[in-house]
Amino acid sequence: QVQLQESGPGLVKPSETLSLTCTVSDDSISRYYWSWIRQPPGKGLEWIGYIYYKGSTIYNPSLRSRVTISVDTSKNQFSLKLSSVTAADTAIYYCARTPAGPPYNYMDVWGKGTTVTVSS
């Protein structure tokens, strides 16, 4: 059964770049779309963006200037980079499999999430 696992630093300093990787197991990343979603403490879900396995991306307009999502099909991984972070970027970050883009855009398999705190 397909599994997703986020990895990366749990603490990032303000103004630096947050970098996370999602490793996909028991499924090929060379299908589907792959998404990043985050959830600030005590708040709701926020869609960050997704990447198609061929490399095309779509980002949340509010984060577009700071976000880069990339894919490494040889490692069955995709990654998130968020630059110039502030305390407002503190959240649980989830990666998820997205079987189809719009008009569907649902996430059918989620990672367990990783907590990232932005603090000096």
Partner 1 sequence: QSVLTQPPSVSAAPGQKVTISCSGSTSNIGNNYVSWYQQLPGTAPKLLISQNNRRPSGIPDRFSGSKSGTSATLDITGLQTGDEADYYCGTWDSSLGGVFGTGTKVTVL
Out of 10, 61, 65, 119, the residue judged to bind partner 1 by CB under 8 A: 61
Give yes or no for residue 10 binding partner 1 (CB under 8 A): no
Query: How far lies 77's CA from each of 25, 28, 60, 107, 110, in Å?
Result: 9, 10, 21, 17, 14
Q: How far is the CB of 33 from partner 1 (least distance, A)?
A: 10
Rule CB under 8 A: which of 66-105 touch partner 1? 94, 101-105
Q: How far is 109 from 88, CA to CA, in rounded Å? A: 26
> Closest Cα to residue 81, out of 106, 109, 49, 108?
49
Out of 40, 66, 76, 110, the residue judged to bind partner 1 by CB under 8 A: 110
Piece of the chain touching partner 1 by CB under 8 A; list 7-15, 38-46, 70-78, 81-89: 38-46
**Number of chain positions touching partner 1 (CB under 8 A):** 26
Burial (CB count <10 Å: 0-12, 13-18, 19+), residue 94: buried
Burial (CB count <10 Å: 0-12, 13-18, 19+), residue 25: exposed
Q: How far is the CB of 14 from partner 1 (least distance, A)?
A: 24
Give yes or no for residue 58 binding partner 1 (CB under 8 A): yes
Residues in contact with partner 1 by the rule CB under 8 A: 35, 37, 44-47, 49-50, 58-61, 94, 101-113
